[in-house]
Chains A and B, each alone.
Chain A
Amino acid sequence: MNAGLVRRVGLAVAAPLVAAVVAILVSSIVLQVSGSNPYETFKTMLENGTKLETLIDMLNRATPLYLSAVAAAIGFRMNLFNIGVEGQYILAAFLAAVVGAQFELWAPLHIAVIMLTAMIVGAAWSGLAGLLKVTRGVNEVISTIMLNFIAVGGLVAGLLPRFIDDPTAANQGTPQIADSGRLPDLNSWVEVFTREITKGRRLTGVLLVAIVVGIIYHVVLNRSRFGYDIRASGMNPDAARVGGVPPKRMILIAMIGGGLVAGLVGMPEVLSDTHAYDQGFVQGLGFAGIAVALLGRNTAPGMAIAALLFGFLDSSSAVLQVSNLASSEIVVIMQATILLVAVIAYEVVNRIRQRDEVKRAAHMVEATA
């Protein structure tokens, strides 16, 4: 019995551990081959990663990644492959920046208006894909890819010129949001426990939003009837249907829920950083979020760890380049290796588990016979 427990815990830890070891091995080989010193590289990454300023960078990077991962994971849990977060968050951030720049309000209200606008836009855009699936049977992979193109290449590109702040500026963007629509940073909260944060780093207040979203996601999914329905629909749609779960409604709700969270992905930039939508707006978080969701296996704590890991690796790329140790590509190689190996390792662990189950069942049948 005890051996069984050890085996199960071992299996759970094995996948991420193997992924990490293989990623370090592969990147060491790449570093060695490209003429860098792997030992120095990893040492610098660790030294840099424990600095307060780097931790702030890491959290700032992890915040949108995490929100994007949760947005995608809501669909994944139901076997809905929603890859539309990219289009949803860019359209949402753009429209929220436009709406937010129209007026000055009491600060909490102003910020709430911007966030709600973004969430509603994200939900509407995602809901469109859901609607197409339940009414016309359009596969969500196809519709969300199409909607990404329409949102980014069509709507935002087409609408941006109408809302340009200064037509003679090199960097074309929407007008700046007034001070009342800017989310205060969390530096003073962190500084209670640490030294003063220097080098212009500001911890985004959206981090708190991400934490709340993560908690809600976890509780709803694991502790509510609705979450049970979602998980059931994902594991066995037919059984769920027979059990009284309406599949069309579940699809719509999951897509809209994902869209609500997707709308928040662009908020660190709009509320805490540039306070506008301009040519420097960060694109690609929707796809990066899918990677984080995969790595975190769609669970709230797993995705949080994955987002922090990606945040750490991304912030390492800067210091590795500046200290002439390695090019920025090494970080991309590490992320890709971790992801690939982790997905394979999860799969292997799953199969071992299934085999164990079969054996155990066989034993029990033998015992009763």
Chain B
Amino acid sequence: MIKSKRVLAASLVAALSLTAAACGDDEETPAATDAPEATEEATDAPAATDAPADTDAPAATDAPAATDAPAPSGESFNVGLTFDIGGRGDQSFNDSAAAGIDRAAEELGITFTEAEPNADGSNRAELLQLQADGSALVIGVGFLFASDVVAAAGENPDTNFAVIDDAMLDFDNDAVPLCDNCAGLTFAEEQGSFLVGAAAALNSTTGTVGFIGGVGGFGLIEKFQAGFEAGAKAVNPDIVIIPQYITEAPDFDGFFAADRAKEIALAMYDQGADVIYHAAGGSGAGLFEAAKEQSEASGSKVWAIGVDSDQYFTSSEEVREYILTSMLKRVDVAVFEITKAQSEGAFAAGNTVYDLSVDGVGYSTSGDFMTAEQIATIEDFKAQIIAGDIVVPTVPEA
């Protein structure tokens, strides 16, 4: 009896820890950035940096040979890319960061070391410290690194740090950078949403489109809505847009509620919408299912639009044909650009917003569902946004 219990215990532990690891795989949701005011400033200045120009201070003073002379290129230094749980190969956030560093290694000739935390995320701080020992630039992939980066940056004044999806600004104190050697890399989600809004309007035959937000009330997801609405209206000023949020902050279940997203989507399709965009993280799967069901039941095809990554590739095969496009958040671009800035001696503390001008956000065309004319129209909008002729709002119209 005792014996069998022990063996049972061993196998249960193994099973449970595996499940735990699988569940904690990737916490990446759009609930990520927190600096709407920072983005406003950035829309007119491509990839603008909010911080005052103290760029040379941390990089150039006495870092190891690598950063001594900020020559344009050819300088080799090490980048410590620190993933969040899941690491390279997660088909999502981390993989996008990995693509960015691979490109940087190829084009800039830098070296890099990779690390990911233990399955329970217990050693983020230690990883950053270790990476800092051998790197001129340490990148933390995901906002959960923010507080540990502040501590590590203080301990390692000769190393630069960057955090994806956190502005790294002290909002209680006039939004100054949290430290002199740490940068926050965030994204102009409203600009990408504008383009998929235009795509939605171009592909709508009913003149009605829908927007499903995961969690409303804390400012971030409203950026997606504002951009989407502006883009749709730019194509068709009379378009009807039905916005709906799954939950309101501080209830964050809306990012993990595929069932509720599906109900909302089906209701929107019933009201005549034929294209629906979601900014709802994991809930998006419910939208895709609804698009498939509605199309099959009614006999006329309705569309869904994905978010963050190219969801044509990350979704199951049955729903792919209903994903018109996805709003892309290019973590790879952010990783590449900050590495390039470091190699040029142009690392700047504070918030950097990746927008259309640097392909920090964008849209996908996987599946070839859009015509060449439609893509040309969207590209035209893109050029106008980059040129500053169109300023995309970050707050929806009342």
Residues of A within 8 A of B (CB): 53, 57, 61, 76, 79, 81, 83, 157, 160-162, 164, 167-172, 198-201, 235, 274, 279-280, 282-285, 287-288, 290-291, 294, 314-315, 317-319, 321-324, 327-328, 332, 336, 339-340, 343, 346-347, 350
Is B152's CB within 8 Å of the partner chain A?
yes
- 14 further interface pairs, Cβ-Cβ under 8 Å (given A287-B17, A291-B17, A315-B126): A81-B9, A83-B12, A169-B34, A171-B166, A172-B252, A199-B133, A235-B2, A280-B147, A284-B17, A290-B9, A290-B13, A318-B127, A322-B113, A322-B133
Q: How far is the CB of B150 from chain A (nearest CB, A)?
A: 11
Interface majority SS on A: helix, strand, loop or mixed? helix
Chain B contacts of A199 at CB under 8 A? 129, 133, 155
Is B109's CB within 8 Å of the partner chain A?
no
Is B299's CB within 8 Å of the partner chain A?
no
- Report the separation of the CA atoms of residues A282 and B3 in the bound assembly, to the nearest whole angstrom: 31
- From known contacts A61-B122, A274-B147, A284-B120, infer whether A168 and B34 are also in contact, taking CB-CB under 8 Å: yes
- Report the separation of the CA atoms of residues A282 and B80 in the bound assembly, to the nearest whole angstrom: 23
Contact of A328 among B118, B125, B126, B217 (CB under 8 A): B118
A285 x B120 contact (CB < 8 A): yes
A-B contact pairs, 12 of them (CB 8 A): A81-B5, A157-B253, A161-B251, A164-B250, A167-B249, A171-B147, A280-B144, A290-B12, A314-B122, A322-B80, A322-B130, A347-B3
Residues of B within 8 A of A (CB): 1-3, 5-10, 12-14, 16-17, 20-21, 24, 27, 31-34, 80, 87, 113-116, 118-127, 129-131, 133-134, 143-144, 146-147, 151-152, 154-155, 165-166, 217-219, 249-253
A347 x B6 contact (CB < 8 A): yes
Chain B contacts of A81 at CB under 8 A? 5, 8-9
- From known contacts A170-B33, A279-B27, infer whether A294 and B10 are also in contact, taking CB-CB under 8 Å: yes
Chain B contacts of A324 at CB under 8 A? 113
Contact count A vs B, C-beta below 8 Å:
142
- Report the separation of the CA atoms of residues A340 and B143 in the bound assembly, to the nearest whole angstrom: 36
- From known contacts A200-B129, A280-B144, A322-B127, infer whether A294 and B121 are also in contact, taking CB-CB under 8 Å: no
B134 x A57 contact (CB < 8 A): no
B115 x A328 contact (CB < 8 A): yes
B5 x A321 contact (CB < 8 A): no
Chain A contacts of B16 at CB under 8 A? 83, 287, 290
Q: How far is the CB of A81 from chain B (nearest CB, A)?
A: 6
- Report the separation of the CA atoms of residues A291 and B14 in the bound assembly, to the nearest whole angstrom: 8
Chain A contacts of B151 at CB under 8 A? 200
Contact of B121 among A171, A235, A280, A332 (CB under 8 A): A280
- Report the separation of the CA atoms of residues A40 and B109 in the bound assembly, to the nearest whole angstrom: 26
Residue of A with least CB distance to B134: A322
